[in-house]
Amino acid sequence: MLKHKRVVGVICGLALSIESMLGSGFRLTEQSLNGTALNSAFVAGAYGADSTYYNPANMSLGRDSDKWEFEIDGQLLVIPGFGFDTENRDKGGSALGGAVLIGCADPKKNCPARVNGRANWAFQPVPKFFLKSRAYELPLGMKTNFGFSFTTPSGLSMDWDGAGGGFLDDVGIAMMEFNPVVSLAWKDIVSIGLGVRGIYSFGEFNNSLYVPYDVPNLSSGTSYVQQTSNASGFGVGYNAALTIKPFATFSNENLKSFSIAATYRSKVSIDAKGKLQAVAGVDTGILGKGTVDMNADLVLMTDLPHIINLAVSQDFGRNRIEFVWEYTFWSSARIFEFGYANQVFSNMQGDKNFIGLGLDYISNMLGYADYSAVAYGNGWKDSNAYRLGYTYFGESYKIMGSIAYDETPAPQGKFGIPDANAYMFGLGFRKRFLDDRLDLGLAYSLALKDNRKSFIASHDGFGQLHLLTIGAKYLW
């Protein structure tokens, strides 16, 4: 059973790996209009409805803490199409100690060392919702707020073509998070925030890949596998935040505004269940070649890892500067582990010799695959992100800008997760109307992926991820 289990895991894990294209592994940190414009440099200085996501402790501090706020944001995620080349993972095979050469292992076939692929344009619109209550006074100089955020920490549709792009041929993934939060502050000096995270994940995948195998004293090479699968699941975690304004009682306005903050998001484990349908090609040389179908019930296990943010924010008149350091504990997370049950092999097709081997023989052969050659989660490391944001507060408008550097947790130059370090730039604008009750805005973020060390070599320069967010907020 464990032998077949590994086959399923490689197939489905690579399908899920497209979430890594979103930055920070497979997370998308820019979850609001402010977050997009500031590339998530919005922690110590967070305010308003979307502070429920970035730093719930700040609901009770700073601007508009005495008002209810409801914000709706619409975000469009765009990845431009690009051509690339990658190693040809079709290695053919050999039988009887190399006496018989199969497919690309035969020099007469003249198979290319590298193959081309094409990533088609990807467009993904997603909504976000944020609600923050007004502050409620409590004894001893305390006050409290509550609220929630509804976000999509991951989600994308991908369509890759060509011999090099089959492993991401048709992939659709979504994660939705509901996060109710509460804050408790003392005299605008210190505040804490706590929340519960509920995350629902679902996806459908249709892709293919070459899996190496080595059957002792018989044959070795790669097997072509094409699969269709779906999975969905739910996970629960929590988040906590702390903000301190050590000079809040001082008369100097610049000193009063200084904030330091820390936020923590717990690991969320999701065991997604679904179905798998796969067709594996097997070429044994003199014993024949053909295909076999497999159907199974899937359990795909993955974690959104622990995350810590440390931030400082300082105002200079109408200007605010914020720096955020983010650390993500990828090395302690499960990365697409799997299990399955009720596997059924059927529909053997091929030449006479292959059919004569029987289902039991072929299913046992699948256990000799070398999955270390296509491991996609091994070697992931903890990652850092560094974010610097600027905000100008006008009388009834705000202007925002940011830069950021986001490390990938994925090892470079190895087949698996198509991710790279990102250089990020953001801009945004907000304007208030109706006596400051209505707030409208627009924000844009560009992430440039440095794929020079990636196993996928783009023909079009840096990889790109564009985020465009429009938002409307009502205050009362």
Q: What is the pLDDT of residues 369-385, one digit of tens each?
A: 665 555 556 678 899 99
CATH code, 290: 2.40.160.60
Residue 230 phi, psi dihedral angles, 5° rounding: -145, 155
Strand partners, 42: none
Taking only the tens place, the pLDDT of each residue in 276-290 is 888 888 777 677 788
Nearest in space to 458 (alpha carbons), one of 21, 124, 13: 21
User: Which single residue is written with the structure tokens 């717990």?
Assistant: 266
Flag whether pLDDT at 11 surpasses 50.
Answer: no
- Is pTM beyond 0.85? Reply is yes
Q: How many CB atoms lie within 10 A of CB 328?
A: 25
Query: How far is the first Cα of the chain from the last one, in angstroms, to the nearest whole number?
Result: 60
pLDDT (tens digit per residue) in 298-311: 888 888 899 999 99
Tell me which residue of 188, 182, 194, 180 sits closest to 142, measured CA to CA.
188
Query: What contacts 461, CB < 8 A, 6 or more positions away?
Result: none
User: Tokens 């974690």 appear where?
Assistant: 303
pLDDT, one tens digit per residue, over 197-234 is 999 998 887 877 777 877 777 777 787 888 888 899 99
In the structure, how many helices (H) and strands (E) does the chain have? Answer: 6, 24
Distance CA 130, CA 65 (A): 14
Residue 331 to residue 288: CA distance in whole angstroms = 43
Q: Are 238 and 267 in contact (CB under 8 A)?
A: no
Strand pairing of 114-119 and 259-265? unpaired
State the residue range of the domain holding 215: 2-475
What total number of domains does the chain contain?
1
